[in-house]
């Protein structure tokens, strides 16, 4: 069983926007109250408050007070899910402290703000439903109009309503599908395998010298973004003009984000569709994003590309392997196997080089050949078809 997300644009009416704003605010208050309660317990040396205890204190009992009586105007499931999210955030934080969670060290949960992205989640307990007229019915909100781009493959188990910083609304459905769904027909062509050498000059070089150009989405709009940010900095805090300027900046960021994600999805789909096996380098993207080329590395979004490529390849039934990041794919001569290629920062300028054996290499094409060969060896090793 595999869980997938389907996201669609939502167009609420004016009264529905008021109801959603009330739900967003209530969920945010409950979440912040839970964080405050756990911080207080830690400062006083008390036991960690459980979700059940906080639910009774921050929801059930709080509704009976004059200060929190408005919590009864929204669905109780939305408030319960806010507590669940807070508890998950603390569990991830504790696991990170103990070294049981992969990735960089996480900090403790922080208070949520009014500005920025807002979200609420409805589970099956809330009895939300997709009506015959293609509208989404939510408790204490109403029937929302959705721009459906495709049909859901199964009945969703939950839906998250999201409001972005630019004021757009989305519905994100979680759907459980069979793990075999989405498999592609195997390709019989033995040459339908490729290594992928990622870079900044060209985004990627594939088998046969095929090049995917680097689109540089952030660089294209950097001048426009700088101008909008400069205008925002000159507006008086709390004024209506500052709110308009903030939205203008957010829209530019949103355009960069959406165009980049759409482009990456299309490239990933094409690569998986055209190749039976895909081999990539296990790049240390976090480390690459700290140097002098940090802005270009973040703009290229190598981490997003590799994560989506791996997920798509495995779901489609394609072979996928990662080559160790210390494998000398650039320095290794694909003809004789000698380590005679350019190295270090000074070698970044060398796009072509000649090996002592007489072979002339294009830097990126040579790296792709080496990555493909090493990936084939690792895939055979994993399948038990080759010796270590």
State the catalytic residues: 197, 281, 364
Question: Of 169, 141, 114, 152, nearest to 5 (Cα)?
Answer: 152
Q: Minimal CA–CA distance to 331: which of 293, 303, 371?
A: 371
Three-class SS string for 155-188? CCCEEEEEECCCCCEEEEEEEEECCCCCCCCCCC
Cross-strand partners of 161: 120, 171
The three-point CA angle 124-127-133 to 5° equals: 115
Between the alpha carbon of residue 369 and those of residues 64, 108, 183, 372, the distances in Å are 69, 44, 27, 5
Number of neighbouring beta carbons within 10 Å of residue 294: 11
**277-281 and 193-198 beta bridge pairing:** parallel
Q: 224-232 — which CB contacts under 8 Å span 24+ positions? A: 224/252, 225/249, 225/252, 225/253, 225/256, 228/252
Rounded CA gap, 167 and 24, in Å? Answer: 13
Q: Answer whether 169's CB lies under 8 Å from 162's CB.
A: yes
* Nearest to 159, CA basis, from 125, 188, 186: 125
What torsion, rounded to 10 degrees, do the Cα atoms 105, 111, 117, 118 define? 130
Question: Can you give the length of the chain in residues?
Answer: 388
Candidates 273, 79, 313; CA nearest to 185 is 273
């Amino acid at each position: 069983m595999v869980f997938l997300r389907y996201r669609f644009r939502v167009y609420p009416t004016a009264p529905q926007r008021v109801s959603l704003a009330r739900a967003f605010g209530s969920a945010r208050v409950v979440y912040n109250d839970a964080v405050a309660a756990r911080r207080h317990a830690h400062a006083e040396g008390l036991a960690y408050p459980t979700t059940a205890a906080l639910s009774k204190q921050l929801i059930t009992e709080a509704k009976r007070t004059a200060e929190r009586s408005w919590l009864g105007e929204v669905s109780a499931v939305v408030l319960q899910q806010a507590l669940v999210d807070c508890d998950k955030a603390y569990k991830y934080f504790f696991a990170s402290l103990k070294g049981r969670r992969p990735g960089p060290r996480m900090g403790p949960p922080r208070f949520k703000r009014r500005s920025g992205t807002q979200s609420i989640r409805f589970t099956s307990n809330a009895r939300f439903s997709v009506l015959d007229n293609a509208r989404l019915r939510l408790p204490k909100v109403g029937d929302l109009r959705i721009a459906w781009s495709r049909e859901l493959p199964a009945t969703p188990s939950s839906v998250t309503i999201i409001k972005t910083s630019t004021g757009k609304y989305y519905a994100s459905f979680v759907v459980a599908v069979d793990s075999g769904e989405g498999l592609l027909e195997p390709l019989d062509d033995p040459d339908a395998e490729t290594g992928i050498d990622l870079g900044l000059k060209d985004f990627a070089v594939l088998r046969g010298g095929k090049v995917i150009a680097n689109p540089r989405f952030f660089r294209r709009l950097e001048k426009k973004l700088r101008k909008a940010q400069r205008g925002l900095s000159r507006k008086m805090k709390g004024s209506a003009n500052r709110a308009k300027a903030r939205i203008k900046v957010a829209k530019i960021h949103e355009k960069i984000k959406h165009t980049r994600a759409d482009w990456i999805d299309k490239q990933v789909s094409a690569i998986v569709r055209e190749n039976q096996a895909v081999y990539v380098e296990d790049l240390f993207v976090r480390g690459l994003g700290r140097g002098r080329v940090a802005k270009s590395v973040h703009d290229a979004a190598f981490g997003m590309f590799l994560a989506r490529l791996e997920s798509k390849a495995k779901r489609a039934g394609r072979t996928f392997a990662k080559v160790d990041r210390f494998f000398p794919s650039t320095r290794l001569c694909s003809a004789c196997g000698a380590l005679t290629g350019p190295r270090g920062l000074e070698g970044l300028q060398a796009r072509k080089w000649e090996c002592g054996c007489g072979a002339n290499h294009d830097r990126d094409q040579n790296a792709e050949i080496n990555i493909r060969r090493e990936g084939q060896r690792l895939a055979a090793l994993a399948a038990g078809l080759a010796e270590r």
